[in-house]
Chains A and B, each alone.
Chain A
Amino acid sequence: MKQEITVALVGNPNSGKTSLFNALTGLNHKVSNFPGTTVEKKIGYSKLNADTQAQVIDLPGTYSLYPKSADEVVTYDILRNKAETNFPDVVLFIADASNLKRNLLLLTQVADLGVPVILALNMVDLAERKGIFYDQAVLSEQLGIPVIAINARNKTGLSKIKSLLLDESRQVKKSYFDYTVAGDELLNEICDITDKKNPYAALQYAINISSFNNPKAKQINQSFAKHQFNIRSFQENEILSRYRLIDDAVRSSRKIKENTVVKNISQRADKILTHRIWGILLFLGLLFMVFQAIFSWSAYPMDWVEKGFALLTEWIETSLPAGVLNDLIVHGILAGLSGVMVFLPQIIILFTFIAILEDVGYMARVGFIMDRVMRPFGMNGKSIVPLISGMACAVPSIMASRSIENKKERLITMMVTPLMSCSARLPVYTLLIGMLVPETAKWGPFNVHGIVLMIMYLLGFGAALLSAGVFKLAVKSTGSNYFIMELPGYKLPVWNNLLITLYEKGSAFVVGAGKIIVAVSVILWALASFGPREKMRAIDEKYAVIAQTLATDLPIEELAAQKNAEKLQASYAGEFGKFIEPAIKPLGFDWKMGIALLTSLAAREVFVGTMSTIYSVGGGDQAEDLNAIKERMLNEKKSDGKPVYSMAAIISLMVFYAFAMQCMSTLSIVLAETKNWKWPVIQFIYMTALAYFSSLLAFNILS
């Protein structure tokens, strides 16, 4: 009979948890979200023997069971609640042997919750190089739990872990902390209120929820007050007494080889990488390289994706009978899908860099270097990672803000990240900059296109910082705002982990953002395809007559394109464009741009596609199309004979796209992360207002 046990993988950040998870489960795992959060939940399966398999849950790294950040809360929530479906049969605790004391604090807390624990001692080689040797038997005896030395990176010790997981005799042998100092009466009361049997678990839970808006919090605080229980001194006492016990266990099981020559490569690297001149130069150089890579390496794969979708579209368009269904699949669903997929290469490249830099240990240094710069704007050093990733896509970047402990700093980071120019704005900028300056224009040795593009990115970054400064004044501060972060030793990346991470992030993006983009695309397709019946019929009839009488010398394709353009203008989307024209006229936009503003809500780059429909460009290959759109847009004249796309109008449009919140996926991810409607609404309003007034200003100054 098949048997399954649930194993939770728990440990400090940087202890090698991900490596162990990957070593145990390989690709045999799935990623979902913990209920009610967007924190990734990774569950994998590992075969222990012929008839038992382990369901391994990777819990976010944490330093203690008094959680301080959003992902730490997840770990705590699973371990505290025996009724939880994912409550483990056994905890596999992974600890960094080269830094054992701090790692063991969490271990003793977890064990005191009443869950059986196995200790996997990782990075033993690193400790030995520092001259620190552990006697596993003594450590195991001291701690009262099984201990195995492993190396998660090269997968040694896995079979021993598996056989220990199979050992049915696992049980909790000792308590690591005398919680009875809190007083029996209080403990009984708290057990009653929280409905828990384990007094330590009950008290810990009570402390964690006492400062929240929880229905039980009032009762708990009354009980604390009645017994003059001071949370702060209890916690301090708890930590210090746990450390005393850990100190004894570590001291008696450890041998230190004196006179070990420690080659501290990390410290030497840090002397350069965080140097006040070299550190900054290297950081900027690296940023520049990442940037270059995103835009130059991705060109070919993006082209392949586009070509692939073009082929697929053509095939479906011709093999399915013409009609609404054909139209829906081709112009609604496929158009939306290709809009997502085309960014996959850029996102993969960006994530590759971020994952490597993270794995190597450099990302923590970026936070260290940039903290002072971010602080005046209400953010901290950790905010720089979401902001930089925001140049690829705001959706995964906002998820990356989870590691920021301070709620206010995290919120500000999420609110301003979408101002960073993401890759969806790139096609829009490319088209508009192309209308502004010829592609071959040079300014000294530099391409003017590139310079204007860089100005757009800097504009986004500047706006993000300034908006953050405003939010800093407006948002109430909660909790303390220290910035305490481990700077882990530099390591070589584990390529296997990297590939798995990329696979996970890539599929999360396609599925997550894809769902929304496809849904919005279908709605917008409907708006753009249907209109008041009378008008639509009139157009159909008009072109039927033209086709029958051949009263034109235009080729058929051209004719069809013109018909589509007229239909779009008559559609509900066209009506919307005309409806908002009075509002956008002061910015230099006409109703056709109004249509594009609406369709851009699916994804900003849809702007280009909409423009090509409006200016009835069809067939031919893409580069030719783009030039044709540009030409026709530039030839468009207002009733007074002046061009619609004057320099002022083009710049105004670019500024609008730089600042406006036009991304449904981002708004939905902000909602998921903040769990409060208020924030996506505020984000939508402030960004759109910023875009409107900046464009207004730009247009009026320039024209």
Chain B
Amino acid sequence: MKLSSLTFNQIGIVKAVHGDDLSLKLFEMGLLPGEEVALENVAPFGDPIAIRVGEYKMCIRLNDAEQIEVSLKESN
């Protein structure tokens, strides 16, 4: 699934990031394959969203979040 369709209380694990410039920037910012991500806030107009990456919070637009593939972490 895509990061953009993650809902609150779900934890995703990054599988792949598409887009050349975008993926490089995201890698530099610590959003790497294997890393856990979670949705934390949605901006008032529905876009962008704030996600938790590693130990910090990052803001990303929905169309960029669509470029990030994640798999759901089994919750227990």
Interface residues, chain A, with chain B CB atoms under 8 Å away: 63-64, 66, 68, 98-102, 105, 130, 132, 232, 235-236, 239-240, 243, 266-267, 270-271, 274-277, 279-280, 364, 367-369, 371-373, 381, 479-480, 482-489
The reply to whether B58 and A267 contact each other, CB–CB distance below 8 Å, is no
| Secondary structure type dominating chain B contacts | mixed
* Minimum Cβ distance to chain B for residue A687 (Å): 29
Structural contact, A274 and B50, CB atoms closer than 8 A: yes
Given contacts A274-B44, A371-B48, A371-B61, contact A236 B54 (CB under 8 A): no
Within 8 Å by CB of B64, from A279, A381, A484, lies A484
**B61 and A483 within 8 A (CB):** yes
Which residue of A has the minimal Cβ distance to B67?
Answer: A482
- Chain B residues contacting A479 (CB-CB under 8 Å) are 21
Q: How far is the CB of A267 from chain B (nearest CB, A)?
A: 6
10 smallest CB-CB distances across A and B, nearest first, come from: A372-B45, A102-B30, A480-B21, A276-B44, A487-B57, A99-B55, A64-B28, A239-B27, A99-B56, A485-B59
CA distance A482 to B18 in the complex (A): 13
Candidate in B43, B50, B58 with the most chain A CB atoms within 10 angstroms: B43
Closest to B62 in A: A372
Question: For A369, what are the chain B residues with a Cβ–Cβ distance below 8 Å?
Answer: 43-45
Report whether A236 and B45 are in contact in the complex, using a CB–CB cutoff of 8 Å: no
Taking a contact as CB atoms under 8 Å apart, the answer to whether A482 and B64 are in contact is yes
User: Residue of B at shortest CB range from A246?
Assistant: B30
Enumerate 17 A-B pairs (CB-CB under 8 Å) in ascending A order: A63-B29, A66-B28, A239-B27, A276-B46, A368-B43, A368-B50, A371-B47, A371-B48, A371-B61, A372-B46, A372-B47, A479-B21, A480-B25, A482-B21, A484-B26, A486-B58, A489-B57
Known contacts A63-B28, A66-B28, A371-B48; decide if A274 and B43 are in contact (CB<8 Å): yes
Q: Are B32 and A484 in contact (CB under 8 A)?
A: no
Q: Is B22 an interface residue (CB 8 A)?
A: yes
Instruction: Please tell me the number of chain B residues within 8 Å of chain A, measured between CB atoms.
Output: 32
Contact between A485 and B58, CB atoms less than 8 A apart: yes
Taking CB atoms, residues of chain A closer than 8 Å to B48 are 368, 371-372, 381, 483
Q: Are B22 and A482 in contact (CB under 8 A)?
A: yes
Of chain B, the residue at the smallest CB distance from A380 is B61
B27 to chain A, nearest CB (A): 5
Q: Which B residues lie within 8 Å of A371 (CB)?
A: 43, 47-48, 59, 61
Distance in angstroms from B70 CB to nearest chain A CB is 16
Bound CA–CA A251/B66 (angstroms): 31
- CB B10 to nearest CB in A, in angstroms, measures 16
Total number of residue pairs linking A and B with CB closer than 8 Å = 123
Chain B interface residues toward A at CB < 8 A: 19-30, 32, 40-48, 50, 54-61, 64
CB < 8 Å neighbour of B44 from A63, A279, A483:
A279
| Complex alpha-carbon distance, A642 and B26, angstroms | 66
Minimum CB–CB distance for B64 against chain A, Å = 5
Closest to B54 in A: A101
B54 touches A99 (CB 8 A): yes
Known: A232-B24, A482-B22. Contact between A373 and B45, CB under 8 A?
yes
CB distance from A482 to the nearest CB of B (A): 5
CB of B63 to closest CB in A, whole Å: 9
In the complex with contacts A99-B54, A480-B19, A66-B24 CB distance below 8 A: yes
Q: Which of B29, B41, B44, B54 has the most CB of A within 10 A?
A: B44
* In the complex, chain B residues whose CB is within 8 Å of the CB of A101: 30, 54-55
Minimum CB distance partner of B33 in chain A: A240
Q: A266's closest neighbor in chain B, by CB? A: B57
Q: Is the CB of B44 within 8 A of A275?
A: yes
Looking at the assembled complex, report how far the CB atom of B57 sits from the nearest CB atom of chain A, in whole angstroms: 4
Q: Are B22 and A232 neighbours in the complex by a CB distance under 8 Å?
A: no
Hey, which chain B residues are within 8 Å of A236, CB to CB? 23-24, 27
Least Cβ distance of B37 to chain A in Å?
13
Determine if A270 and B50 form an interchain contact, defined as CB atoms under 8 angstroms apart: yes
Contact with B41, one of A98, A239, A274, A488 (Cβ below 8 angstroms): A274
Interface contact A105-B30, CB-CB below 8 Å: yes
Nearest CB in chain A: distance from B21 CB, A: 4
CA distance A318 to B17 in the complex (A): 74
B43 near A102 (CB under 8 angstroms)? no
Contact between chains at A484 and B58 (CB < 8 Å): yes
Q: Is the CB of B59 within 8 A of A367?
A: yes
The closest CB in chain B to the CB of A63 belongs to: B28
CA distance A279 to B59 in the complex (A): 16
Q: Is the CB of B59 within 8 A of A483?
A: yes
Q: Complex formed: what's the CA distance from A479 to B29 in Å?
A: 18
B20, B42, B61 pick with most chain A CB within 10 angstroms? B61
> Chain B contacts of A489 at CB under 8 A?
56-57
- The interface residues of chain A lying within 8 Å CB-to-CB of B60 are 482-484
Which residue of A235, A266, A484 contacts B59 across the interface (Cβ within 8 Å)? A484
CB-based contact A487/B27 at 8 Å: no
Q: Which residue of B lies closest to A130 (CB)?
A: B55
Give the nearest-CB partner of A276 in chain B.
Answer: B44
B42: which A residues are within 8 A, CB to CB? 274, 276
Q: How far is the CA of A381 from the CA of B43 in the complex (A)?
A: 11
In the complex, besides A267-B57, A483-B48, 20 extra interface pairs with C-beta distance below 8 angstroms are A64-B28, A68-B25, A99-B56, A101-B55, A102-B29, A105-B28, A105-B30, A130-B55, A236-B27, A239-B24, A240-B32, A274-B41, A274-B50, A277-B44, A371-B48, A482-B60, A483-B60, A485-B58, A487-B56, A487-B58
